[in-house]
Amino acid sequence: MNRRSFLKNTSPLLAGLLGLPPALNAAGWKAETPLPELASFGLEGALPHTKGRVVYLDFWASWCAPCKSSFPVLNRWHEELSPKGLTILGVSVDETALEMRNFLTRTSAAFAIVRDANHKLVAAADVSTMPTAFLIGRKGIVRHIHNGFHPKDEALLSTQINALLAER
């Protein structure tokens, strides 16, 4: 998904201003609601085991500069916190698998990556900012939603992840 098609397909306000059709689902996911079954969205790639784990579900795109800067942090969390129960799942919204692969050649990912080729998951979540992350607790409930990524966000995100990991 490129910037134009992303904005066209996911931002109802911008779509309205441009005279374009709104997003497929403007409701999106909210905190304290169950995460839908990810396998039902036809994602390309292998989904990791998430039952009973804290999940950091990260929507990203190859054209997104903040996404690139988030990957080293996500790699570190994967290495340090995966044994404690954290699963990180990156969801590429790129139009083509080649765009995604080229990005991953330059920016390594130690965590699981899938591609939302049909943009069904990104539409259901109503993601309008890249990256957007959903923190899901061990019981499969969305607990926190973060739009964008800045280095200063790392401390808050770490606190939230560790709090969720401490819950049983």
How many domains, the chain? 1
The mean pLDDT value of the chain amounts to: 87
38-51 per-position pLDDT tens digit: 999 999 999 999 99
Global confidence as pTM: 0.84
What is the per-residue pLDDT across 92-101, written as a single tens digit (0 to 9) for each? 999 999 999 9
Scored b (16 or more CB within 10 A) or e, 31-61 reads: eeeebeebeebebebeebebeebbbbbbbbb
Question: What CATH number corresponds to the domain at position 119?
Answer: 3.40.30.10
Tokens found for residue 19: 């005279």
Q: What residues make up the domain containing 83? A: 3-166
